[in-house]
Amino acid sequence: MNIYSLTCTRDEELSLTTTKLLEYFKRCNIESKLLINESSIFDAYDKGIDSLNAKLDDIIILCHDDIEIMTDPLLFTQLLKKNLSKPDIGFVGVAGTAKLTKNGVWWDLEVWKDSLHSGVVYHGPDMDNLESTYFGKLGEVVVLDGLFLAATKKTLRNIQIKKPIVFEGAWDFYDIFYTFQAFLKKKKNYTLPIQIRHESFGDLAGRDSWHKNRNAFCSKLGKYLPATTD
């Protein structure tokens, strides 16, 4: 079981964080590929998957370019292979929720109060300036956040990766769309103890294209909401 990674970036001159990410993947013996200046994250991932020499049982990571993985490389690869070798597993990641409500927002504050979110993410511009967001205990979830996702090629090719016609935004809500499809196909999604620093605090979630894609997602798949892992 080999591991590959796909990362979209708009910066032809790579940032220090992206450079460190690629170096980390190299230490893990992970073949990584940058998708530069693509017009859509959906279509970039779709083309990227086909461009890799991956077998159906191999693992493909889909992640942001502004993350730093702090987990020991050997433990990191062991966690991915151990969990994604199980036939009933869909996606694994670092943050998500065990209940997706009618509004389609995975980090819904009311659900958070009910302790149904899962995972932890570190935020900050560098390792010396970190804040942690603890969502909840690790475990099975309905959907996962897109800063870091991993699945087998078989799982990725068993769902729609290309942008739905009803989605107006080219960069938003792909993570919920992907992982919820796996959930609907009776696959189990999980958060794992992988430590990640994310430069972003998720501010882009408020932009118009995010809201438009969220509304489109709810119109398209709302009949299955609310959804829980129970």
Residue 9 belongs to domain with CATH number: 3.90.550.10
**pLDDT of 136 strictly over 90:** yes
**pLDDT of 205 strictly over 60:** no
Mean of pLDDT values over 107-115: 94
pLDDT tens digits for range 36-71: 988 999 999 999 999 999 999 999 999 999 999 999
Q: What is the DSSP string of the chain?
A: --EEEEEEES-SS--HHHHHHHHHHHHTT-EEEEEES-S-HHHHHHHHHHHS---TTSEEEEE-SSEEE-S-HHHHHHHHHHHHTSTTEEEEESEEESEE-TT--TT-HHHHHTT-EEEEEEEEEETTEEEEEEEE--SEESEE-TTEEEEEHHHHTTS--SPPTT---SSSSHHHHHHHHHHHTTPEEEE----EEES--SGGGGSHHHHHHHHHHHHHHGGG-SEE--
Count of structural domains within the chain: 1
What is the model's pLDDT at position 125? Answer: 84
pLDDT tens digits for range 160-203: 999 999 999 999 999 999 999 999 999 999 999 999 999 976 65
Q: Which of 21-30, 124-133, 192-201 has the highest mean pLDDT?
A: 21-30
What is the model's pLDDT at position 204? Answer: 52
Structural domain including 84 reads 3-228
